[in-house]
Amino acid sequence: MNKLIETIDLTKIYGEKETSVTALSSINTGFNENQFTAIMGPSGSGKSTLLHCLAGLDKVTSGSILINGVDLASLNDKELTKMRRDSFGFVFQAFNLIPTLTAEENITLPSSIAGRKPEEEWVKQVIETMDIGDRLKHRPNELSGGQQQRVAAARAMASKPEVIFADEPSGNLDSKSSKELLVFMKSIVEELNQTIVMVTHDPYAASFAERVIMLKDGEIANDLDNPTQEEIVSQVTSLTEI
Amino acid sequence: MFGYTKRPLFLIAWKNLKTYPVRILLTTSSIILGVAVIIASSIFSESNKSAFDNLFSGIYEGIDLVANPVQEDFANDFSDSRGQGPISFELKKIPDKRIQEIKDLPGVKDAWGEVFGFAQFIKIVPRDCRSHTYERECTETIFISNGFAPTFGGSWDTSPYAKQWELIDGKAPENNKEVVMDKTTAENNDYSVGDRVTVLAGSTPASFSIVGIADFANVGSPGGATFALFELKTAQTLLDSKGQVDLVNIVIENNADIETVRTLIENLDKGGLDVINAQEAAAEQADGIKQGLNFFNTILNVFAGIALFVGAFIIQNTFRILLLQRTKELSLLRALGTSKKQIYRLVLSESIFMSLIGSGIGIGLGIGLAVVVKEGLKYFEFGLPDGPLVLTTEAAITGAIVGITVTILSSLLPARKASQVSPMEAIRESTLTPKLKSLIKRLIFGSAVTTLGFALLFGVLYDFLDLPSLSGLQQVGFGAGVIFIGISIITPSITKPFVFLFDKLYEIVFGILGKLATENSKRTPRRTASTASALMIGLTLISLANVITTSFKAQAESVVGEVVKADYQVSAAQVFVSPGIPTGLADELIELEEVTELSRSRATIVGYEERPLILGAVDEAIFDLIKTENVSGSKEEFAKPNSMGVLKQKAERDNINIGDEITLTIPEEGEMTFTIAYIFDWTTPPPAEFFLLLENYTFFSNESLDTEIYFNVKDKNEATQDKLDAIVSDYPGAKLRDQDGLVEEANNQIQQLLNVIYGFLSISVFVALFGITNTLSLSVYERTREIGLMRAIGTYRKQVRRMIFVESSIISIFGAFLGTGLGIFFAWSLIKALEDEGFSNFTVSVSQTFTWIGIAVISGVIAAILPAIKASRQNILEAISYE
């Protein structure tokens, strides 16, 4: 499998001198194309920071992130923005949708911003996969939390990004909606050949991923292939115990 | 030891203000401007008042009594229904010999006569000729004046007690070749002792040598007027006062009783002399002028009122939004046990802080504004007396009180709303959409008020309604005011439908960003509406002024084109300096081969039924050169000897008919009887009401001046124009204009007035722009997450900025269109109401209207620059992170 994203000695330090906090310390890893990766770890482990850095939302202190061989640090704000728009998709924990736009408009927002017509066939397929075909004309406040997150996921995919970054996408959902969303996400990777990097603290959510990276104190503590939920839980427990 | 404070809420209010200085500036910006305008207007009028006080006490300095001739009270008869003033009437004067008689009276230390009148300094400068075929040098006559201040001439007082003028250079005038110039004029026009200058007094200009420069009461010249001061005999000759003076100044002996001396002087010529106490007269005359200036002061205060009114809209809006932002903080305070009343007081104490700061800055800015206005008026040549700027304590206190009151009143409603925040808000995400029900209520109530206003207005305009105790114009104003209030109530309810009109267009032009912008404006209709309303007020007034003046201009143009058929008109350039044109000019013009037809009009004063009357005389050609309307009788009969023509209005008023005989007392001729042969309407301002044919009567040749000359030329070209210019330039008191020139002159006057009005109204628009900046900054703040999300999923900074600009343009277009529409409608109503006064032309200049809308929209976008930059620089991570 192709390495889509590679990190070399990725380090992120917040603050300066005495008050500085090392959020990420020399992370060397990669993310494969067409794979569902979960990043796990206890609070403060640096998992969100890693995602933000990978997605070009936050600047790294040292080291580099290569997206298809391009160093994110070499891009200016405009190029980074373009990268996020055209190559990345985003699903956040909450407030994913613009409240004044309908579901459909939210889904096509990235291509609208780019001034492009969305690929109709593809968008149709995404909407079908997400099962939100009957909610397209509704505004976010008329949708349930689960529906909102599925619309967000559809938006993330609509512009055929190279990678979708998901930050606790099921964090605000009840268990039923949460499961639905994760099933859909898994199917995106399997059926529509997408790549997902997801941050979560929930072992159940992580169990949908093909690979789980465990972070602790800004370092990779473990890297699991196709773990079961039990394996994840035991890993998490051991990490918290130490 | 823990920190303990007795007044925790006061502390919070203070900390808030200290932490967010920009917030204070934003909120108080409108207060600052409003207070500044009040202060500036007060400084301005106080300064003028004190300048006039100085002026008049200067005029009478060192003088105890002033003897004036008693004037006959007939001036009123000359103002007819068309509002034309007197053309000329004989002023009573005091004969020279009386001065000596006064001097000889016991108790009089000294007395000297003074002659006073209009005189004009003239500069003749060479200029390029229009055509190159003309052999003479072409010149241009420049009338020297200090702004709109008058141009005076007078006698130089030689008495050692005369203190009005102080020579600062040179010497006093001693013969008829010498003149003393006032300091202001000399400085403004670079004249100094030894220079030659031409002075026009009466009708013939003459060249003088400047022998001295004089200062008046340390201000250069009274009220900025130009002053040509001559030796007494010369002044008497030039200013039509041979052997007599306009007044006599009297200084009494130290031990003499002023009342006794006064009676003695009055007894010299019982009923002919009016002797006044100089110091009392100074105060009286200054008061008179000050009252005149009150009008100007009122206008300034109206503009300040408008600025504050607009300001109130904005303060209320800003407060509401600021408090909305702090919902969490306030609800936390509530959750911690703060009572509603305490929250209310917290918000009010903040507003008091802000009002104090705002008023303080406003007073400072007002002083600056007064300086700017003063310099501005100087630049635009509005002559007002010079003097130091005066800020009275009263004015400062008034400004501060008004500023504080407006701020506190505007914050009452938002404060009440804030106090009703539920303690649960701290935990919930708050939504901002206003309830539809309240919008509908507003719409119904507002529509009712608006309808009432329209009913009032149309009722008054179409004469089926008459409000007692209000004049027609006041009724129209009242109706317009009600409509305005109604519309202001409705605006939040019609924001959505209005923005809806733009939805599609904006989406096509700006894509999804346009859609987002329109949706945002609809999301908070009340905020959008009140921001737009502030702009609406300014635009209403601007477009009202604009349409009124455009209509007046069009009216002037059509009137000039309609009534003046002659190619050229010659009239007196400075009506006050010389009431007419030397007859020699008409004689020269008629000799020209280019001139085909010419009519002079002349006037003389005769007696009619024991009263003075202006009798006009014209050449027969006048009926071809200006439009007259035949009412009855005929021109042919009029041309016969002993026939007289009379104006329609006069005939109607005095019931004069064809065939009536009128007997007039003609100076040096005795009684003459004329038969009314022609009744006609003279469509330009007529020079008189009774007319004779000039060539039939010799007594008109005693008059040395024509009031007007109209003539046609063979071929109206540049060479002819040069030739005419050259001839007319020998008569500096005469002004030659063709039809375009007449129209232009009328238009220039209107335009000048309009520019001043625009200047003041711009202040209210400026205040409204602050409102837009406020609203948008806060709207951006509210949408931190939304904008952060948009940035995260790939919206360029540029695009975020564009979105804010588009949103701002919606607000400003909304305000501009509503305001312009209302202004045009109000202008129409006003003109309709003035129909009876002869105003019929209602013209809307499309280009000017759209220029103003354009200016408003562009200004709106400029006002959005700061919020837009702020929005685009927002930190994405902060925006999308959550606790």
Q: Which residues of B touch A55 (CB under 8 A)?
A: 792
Amino acid at B624: D
How do residues A136-148 score in pLDDT, each as one tens digit? Answer: 999 888 888 888 9
Predicted TM-score of the model (pTM): 0.69
B429 to chain A: closest CA residue = A95
How do residues B256-266 score in pLDDT, each as one tens digit? Answer: 888 888 888 88
A114 vs B: CB within 8 A: yes
pLDDT at B180 over 90: yes
How do residues B108-132 score in pLDDT, each as one tens digit? Answer: 899 999 888 888 888 877 777 766 6
SS3 state at B214 = strand
pLDDT at B181 over 90: yes
Q: Which residues pair with B736 in a beta bridge?
A: B570
Which stretches of chain A drop beneath a pLDDT of 70?
1-2, 241-242
Query: Is the CA virtual torsion B827, B829, B830, B835 positive or negative?
Result: positive
Burial (CB count <10 Å: 0-12, 13-18, 19+), residue A78 = exposed
Tell me the mean pLDDT in the region B676-704.
80
Is A72:A56 a contact under the CB 8 Å cutoff? yes
- Select from A95, A108, A116, A199 the residue whose CB has the most chain B CBs within 10 Å, as the one to mutate to test that interface: A95
Put simply, the answer to whether A78 touches B796 (Cβ < 8 Å) is: yes
Put simply, the answer to whether A110 touches B793 (Cβ < 8 Å) is: yes
B869 vs A: CB within 8 A: no
The confidence band for B388, taking pLDDT boundaries of 50, 70 and 90, is: low
B515 to chain A: closest CA residue = A101
What are the C-alpha distances in Å from A35 to residues A3, A65, A88, A189, B581?
A: 10, 18, 15, 6, 101
How many inter-chain contacts (A to B, CB under 8 Å) are there?
77
- Return the structure tokens found at B325: 């932002």
How do residues B540-582 score in pLDDT, each as one tens digit? Answer: 888 988 888 888 888 777 777 777 888 888 888 766 666 678 8
Packing angle of the helix pair B278-325, B340-379 (nearest 10 deg):
130
Q: In chain B, which among 737-796 make CB contacts under 8 A with chain A?
A: 785-786, 789-796
Q: What ipTM, to 2 d.p.?
A: 0.89
A110 vs B: CB within 8 A: yes
Please state the separation of Cα A117 from the chain's center in Å: 24
How do residues B529-543 score in pLDDT, each as one tens digit? Answer: 878 888 888 888 889
Is B100:B207 a contact under the CB 8 Å cutoff? no
Put simply, the answer to whether B795 touches A85 (Cβ < 8 Å) is: yes
Is B240:B117 a contact under the CB 8 Å cutoff? yes
C-alpha to C-alpha distance for B418 and B321, rounded to whole angstroms: 10
pLDDT at B85 over 50: no
What are the C-alpha distances in Å from B579 to residues B354, B485, B729?
A: 59, 50, 17
C-alpha to C-alpha distance for B223 and B235, rounded to whole angstroms: 21
A109 to chain B: closest CA residue = B512
Write down all domains in chain A, each with its CATH number in brackets: 3-241 (3.40.50.300)
C-alpha to C-alpha distance for B475 and B494, rounded to whole angstroms: 28
Tell me the mean pLDDT in the region B242-249.
89
Using the CB atoms, write b or e for B679-715: b if 16+ within 10 Å. bbebebebbbbbbbbbeebebbeebebbbbbbbbbee
C-alpha to C-alpha distance for A152 and A158, rounded to whole angstroms: 10
The better pLDDT of the pair B621, A2 is held by B621
Q: Which residues pair with A40 in a beta bridge?
A: A214
Tell me the mean pLDDT in the region B742-765.
77
- Return the structure tokens found at A154: 């559809």
Strand order across the beta sheet in which B108-114 lies: B108-114, B247-252, B65-69, B273-277
Residues in chain A: 242
Please state the separation of Cα A100 from the chain's center in Å: 24
pLDDT at B430: 47
C-alpha to C-alpha distance for B493 and B79, rounded to whole angstroms: 53
A79 vs B: CB within 8 A: no
The better pLDDT of the pair A25, B5 is held by A25
C-alpha to C-alpha distance for B238 and B154, rounded to whole angstroms: 9
From the list B678, B612, B611, B686, the residue with the least C-alpha distance to B646 is B678
How do residues A9-57 score in pLDDT, each as one tens digit? Answer: 989 988 877 778 888 888 899 898 889 999 998 888 888 889 999 988 8
pLDDT at B764 over 50: yes
C-alpha to C-alpha distance for B209 and B243, rounded to whole angstroms: 24
Is B600:B586 a contact under the CB 8 Å cutoff? yes
How do residues B140-160 score in pLDDT, each as one tens digit? Answer: 778 887 766 678 889 998 888
C-alpha to C-alpha distance for B840 and B831, rounded to whole angstroms: 7
Alpha helices (runs of H) in B115-201, residue ranges in sequence order:
183-189
Is A40:A197 a contact under the CB 8 Å cutoff? no
Is B162:B62 a contact under the CB 8 Å cutoff? yes
Question: Which parts of B50-150 are beta strand (E)?
Answer: 65-69, 94-95, 108-114, 116-118, 120-126, 139-143
Minimal C-alpha gap between A137 and chain B (Å): 15
Put simply, the answer to whether A57 touches B877 (Cβ < 8 Å) is: yes
The confidence band for B179, taking pLDDT boundaries of 50, 70 and 90, is: very high
Alpha helices (runs of H) in B783-845, residue ranges in sequence order:
784-792, 797-833
From the list B676, B662, B663, B668, the residue with the least C-alpha distance to B699 is B668
Highest-scoring range by mean pLDDT, B40-54, B209-223, B846-860 = B846-860
pLDDT at B193: 93
Q: In chain A, which among 47-66 make CB contacts under 8 A with chain B?
A: 52, 55, 57-58
> Who contacts A42 (Cβ-Cβ below 8 Å, separation ≥6)?
A201, A216, A236, A239, A240
Is B115:B108 a contact under the CB 8 Å cutoff? no
The confidence band for B837, taking pLDDT boundaries of 50, 70 and 90, is: low
* Choice among B148-152, B188-192, B830-834 with the minimum mean pLDDT: B148-152
How many other CB atoms are found less than 10 A from the CB of residue B79?
11
Burial (CB count <10 Å: 0-12, 13-18, 19+), residue A175 = exposed
Put simply, the answer to whether A95 touches B785 (Cβ < 8 Å) is: yes
From the list A64, A66, A67, A26, the residue with the least C-alpha distance to A218 is A26
> What region, left, alpha or beta, does residue B88 occupy, with left being phi > 0 and alpha being psi -120 to 50 degrees?
beta
A155 vs B: CB within 8 A: yes
Of A58, A83, A100, the CB nearest to B516: A100
CA angle B575, B581, B587 (to 5 degrees): 165
The confidence band for B524, taking pLDDT boundaries of 50, 70 and 90, is: confident
Residue with token string 């070499």: A74
Put simply, the answer to whether B794 touches A113 (Cβ < 8 Å) is: yes
pLDDT at B640: 86
Is B265:B284 a contact under the CB 8 Å cutoff? no
A88 to chain B: closest CA residue = B793
Residues in chain B: 883
> Who contacts B696 (Cβ-Cβ below 8 Å, separation ≥6)?
B639, B641
The better pLDDT of the pair B474, A101 is held by A101
CA angle B683, B686, B687 (to 5 degrees): 160
> Who contacts B847 (Cβ-Cβ below 8 Å, separation ≥6)?
none
Q: Which residues of B touch A154 (CB under 8 A)?
A: none
8-state DSSP, B567? S
DSSP labels, B519-554 = HHHHHSHHHHHHHHHHHHHHHHHHHHHHHHHHHHHH
How do residues B264-309 score in pLDDT, each as one tens digit? Answer: 888 888 778 888 888 887 777 777 766 766 666 676 677 777 777 7
CA atoms within 13 A on the CB side of B243: 0
Of B511, B512, B789, the CB nearest to A96: B789
pLDDT at B232: 92
A176 vs B: CB within 8 A: no
B783 to chain A: closest CA residue = A98
From the list B488, B448, B487, the residue with the least C-alpha distance to B310 is B488
Is B638:B693 a contact under the CB 8 Å cutoff? yes
Tell me the mean pLDDT in the region B337-365.
85
pLDDT at A88: 92
Amino acid at B15: K
From the list A90, A233, A87, the residue with the least C-alpha distance to A169 is A90
From the list B826, B569, B853, the residue with the least C-alpha distance to B707 is B569
C-alpha to C-alpha distance for B571 and B486, rounded to whole angstroms: 50
Q: What is the maximum span of chain A, computed from C-alpha positions, in angstroms?
A: 55
B512 vs A: CB within 8 A: yes
Highest-scoring range by mean pLDDT, B1-5, B63-67, B699-703 = B63-67
B512 to chain A: closest CA residue = A112
B523 to chain A: closest CA residue = A100
B286 vs A: CB within 8 A: no
Q: Write down the mean pLDDT value for chain B.
A: 80
B513 vs A: CB within 8 A: yes
pLDDT at B535: 85
SS3 state at B779 = helix
Put simply, the answer to whether B512 touches A105 (Cβ < 8 Å) is: yes
Query: Is the CA virtual torsion A33, A38, A41, A44 positive or negative?
Result: positive
A165 vs B: CB within 8 A: no
A201 vs B: CB within 8 A: no
